Structure 1
Amino acid sequence: MHTRQLGKNGPQVSAIGLGCMGMSDFYTTGTDTTEAIATLHRALEMGITLLDTADMYGPHTNEELIGKAIVGKRDQVFLASKFGIVRDPQNPGGRGINGRPEYIRASIDGTLKRLGIDTLDLYYQHRIDPEVAIEETVGAMAELVTAGKVRYLGLSEASAQTLERAHKVHPISALQSEYSLWSRDQEHNGCLATCQRLGVAFVPYSPLGRGFLTGALKSPDDFAADDYRRFNPRFQGENFARNLLLVKQVQALAAEKGVTAGQLALAWVLAQGDYLIPIPGTKQRTYLEENIAALDVVLSSAELQALEAIFPEDAAAGLRYPQEVMEMLNQ
């Protein structure tokens, strides 16, 4: 397994991680727990060490699933989880954001219990709370490090300016944000450059465009009734059709190279710098193994340019989230 360093002073972790959200939430109901655990075990067998979850996935059930899967395997895993997005059990679609110190202290205790561990390797603030100064939030997170409950700190979907301020309070090891061929705003909003300058790992989630860049999705009708993507602008109507034309061009390049479209898209992310550690999500062993094989795909400068010509910034039709969710990003 190829490895990359998690930030300037962090450990070596697998060069790609495993995003675990879809094993429990958002993409369909009736998840196959047996296959999900088998996928987690296969990931560890193949050398993936970085597993990514959050307390809001489920909510809570994804952490419980991972806790069950890693019994007796704790020393093989670098565990990352997140706090800060609050879900209302009475209104599953509702969202709140909380970055208050008292909430953080309660959240970590719940996460540790569900994962069945004493110390979490990496703790992210899932979304920035505009009502709480980042210095106050990160100060409370730093207290968890001092208490031995957390080893490293991270932020998710934070702006470059917020990352700068947070890093002055306590070293931030990772910034997690969406980044892929069709979501390239991080190149121009200062986040990638700031990560490089500060020595912060950049962790792209959805590096395969929530499955779209694999070419496996042919129609919005492919989604289950409760699939989150039905409500994502990029997967709706004319936007879906326009984006599909772009993906077909990626598929053609992949066919010429003898790899899958997903492997080509993931290899492009990996090629953007060794401080990037993407976390493609899957709940099936077959796709896991396909993703890991992307580590051996080497792209020439001509191939990189061809991919970027297909997907320049803003090429994708539609916002990457509904408007009300977009307002929570880059805070």
Structure 2
Amino acid sequence: MTSQPVEIPGKFGFGTMSMTWTSQPPSFEQSINTLKFVTSHNEYGVKLLNGGEFYGPNDVNLKLLQQFVAANDPSINETLIISIKGGVDASNLKPDGSKEYISKSIENVASYFPKSGPRPKLIFEAARVDPQVPYQDTIKYIKEYVDNGTIDGISLSEVGINSIEKATAIAPISCVELELSLFSQDIINNGILSFLSEKQIPIIAYSPLCRGILTDYCVEHADTFLSEIPEGHFKHTLDKFQPETFKQNLVPLKKLYAFAHDVKHTSLESLALSWILKISGHSNYKGIDKVTRILPIPSGSTIDRVKLNFGNFVELSNDDLKAIDEILKENPVKGLRYNAHAEGSLFQ
């Protein structure tokens, strides 16, 4: 079978990690209602749901998505794409790109989703590059499951240019999941955005609100924002959530908040997402002839949060982009995307 990349429709995707991989996950009933809401309202443009085999214990994220599909309108299901990260040992969160483990992961993921009838298309992505296994071999193992019809397509995750080149030589790549936000612009500066734009492979932009920092709530509750994060939450390990770094980043954050409210008359989260939408498909952007499509994947555990995150988008002009760049140039963002320990696994 000759595989083709899965076309990724819509303006946005929707991330489901916060629905299951957190110390206080919402009920399945609440999450399913939220997923139904965000995928049935065309103004949000959400056709891609992003999940993970290791997003919580005992395949809980896969079980949530399975129950959502079973409860959802079949006519909507067949318009959706579900992209699942796997290939990670849940016991230690280390990537395993071996044939044995990739096969085990894909077969487990696929077992949760319908194989016939009106169904979402299923994309699999190895969550990280396993340095012990040649990446092109890992992609070959995944491609076997596209060829036999178990999954519909392949996404890449947290990869650098070298790995993207290796992957595209083996199989059609539907999309690449990478972090992008006003506070995490690494892919713009390291050449990955330019490279993917040359190939016109869509980018799935995760953490577009920098894990909740780029929100009105964060600015308006800056004194208590860090202390409100539950004890043991992974955010406590991240550079930008360390008290001194957070304090330093309040300077550019408050300036972006003021620009959002005073100039664009919108929320900070809407500005942050509108910025990504403006860059997506942009011509002549920072030396790139035409930027590839970029789909941000904000999340939201409730319908009210979805309305906040997805509401009130604004049209940004090129002058607005310059003004935002100037704010961040004069007030550079501090802190790594994750932390020094994690750096070795990023952009591999």
Task: With the length of structure 2 as denominator, give the TM-score of the two structures.
Answer: 0.86
1:95 to 88, 93, 97: 93
- Tell me what 1:4 maps to: none
Give 3-state SS (helix, strand or coil) of 2:232's partner. coil
Does residue 266 of the first structure (1) align with residue 273 of the second (2)? yes
- Tell me what 2:300 maps to: 282
Cα distance in 2 between the residues matched to 1:115 and 1:151: 12
- Aligned residues of 1:264 and 1:297 also touching (Cα < 8 A): yes
CA drift of 1:158 comes to 0.4
Does residue 308 of the first structure (1) align with residue 308 of the second (2)? no
Give 3-state SS (helix, strand or coil) of 2:252's partner. helix
- Aligned residues of 2:252 and 2:331 also touching (Cα < 8 A): no
Cα distance in 2 between the residues matched to 1:310 and 1:140: 45
Structure 2 portions without partners, runs of 5+: 282-292
2:250 to 240, 244, 263: 244
Does residue 33 of the first structure (1) align with residue 35 of the second (2)? no
Q: Residue deviations 1:96-122, cap 9 Å, x none?
A: 110111211111111122345568522
Q: Residue deviations 1:137-180, cap 9 Å, x none?
A: 11111101111011121110100111011100111121111111
- Aligned residues of 2:123 and 2:152 also touching (Cα < 8 A): yes
Cα distance in 1 between the residues matched to 2:238 and 2:310: 27
Matched AA of 2:64: L
**1:75-94 alignment, distance < 5 Å:** 75-88=78-91, 94=92
Bigger Cα displacement from structure 2, 13-22 vs 216-225: 216-225
CA drift of 1:132 comes to 0.6
Give 3-state SS (helix, strand or coil) of 2:296's partner. coil
Does residue 114 of the first structure (1) align with residue 112 of the second (2)? yes
Does residue 21 of the first structure (1) align with residue 39 of the second (2)? no
CA drift of 1:234 comes to 0.6
1:46 to 41, 47, 62: 41
Matched AA of 1:97: P
Does residue 155 of the first structure (1) align with residue 156 of the second (2)? yes
Matched AA of 2:47: T
Task: With the length of structure 1 as denominator, give the TM-score of the two structures.
Answer: 0.90
Does residue 164 of the first structure (1) align with residue 165 of the second (2)? yes
**1:136-155 alignment, distance < 5 Å:** 136-155=137-156
Give 3-state SS (helix, strand or coil) of 2:176's partner. strand
Number of residue pairs the alignment of both structures matches: 317
Bigger Cα displacement from structure 2, 119-128 vs 270-279: 119-128
Bigger Cα displacement from structure 2, 273-282 vs 314-323: 314-323
CA drift of 1:292 comes to 2.6
- Aligned residues of 1:16 and 1:292 also touching (Cα < 8 A): no
- Aligned residues of 2:136 and 2:166 also touching (Cα < 8 A): yes
Moved over 6 A (4+): none
Give 3-state SS (helix, strand or coil) of 1:181's partner. coil
Bigger Cα displacement from structure 2, 112-121 vs 127-136: 112-121
Cα distance in 1 between the residues matched to 2:81 and 2:345: 27
- Tell me what 1:327 maps to: 344
CA drift of 1:283 comes to 1.0
Cα distance in 2 between the residues matched to 1:12 and 1:157: 18
Change (3 A) 1:314 1:103: farther
- Aligned residues of 1:68 and 1:115 also touching (Cα < 8 A): no
Cα distance in 1 between the residues matched to 2:115 and 2:34: 20
Matched AA of 1:321: Y
- Tell me what 2:284 maps to: none
CA drift of 1:311 comes to 2.6
Matched AA of 1:157: E
Give 3-state SS (helix, strand or coil) of 1:99's partner. coil
Cα distance in 2 between the residues matched to 1:316 and 1:126: 26
- Aligned residues of 1:54 and 1:82 also touching (Cα < 8 A): yes
State, as a whole percentage, how many aligned pairs show the same letter: 27
2:103 to 79, 84, 105: 105
Give 3-state SS (helix, strand or coil) of 1:153's partner. strand
Bigger Cα displacement from structure 2, 147-156 vs 114-123: 114-123
CA drift of 1:29 comes to 2.1
- Tell me what 2:288 maps to: none
- Aligned residues of 2:52 and 2:84 also touching (Cα < 8 A): yes
Cα distance in 2 between the residues matched to 1:313 and 1:261: 19
- Tell me what 1:3 maps to: none
Cα distance in 1 between the residues matched to 2:113 and 2:5: 25
CA drift of 1:76 comes to 3.6
CA drift of 1:83 comes to 1.2
Cα distance in 2 between the residues matched to 1:222 and 1:153: 37
Q: Residue deviations 1:10-31, cap 9 Å, x none?
A: 42512101000000114x3243
- Name the Cα RMSD after superposition: 1.9
Cα distance in 1 between the residues matched to 2:30 and 2:324: 33
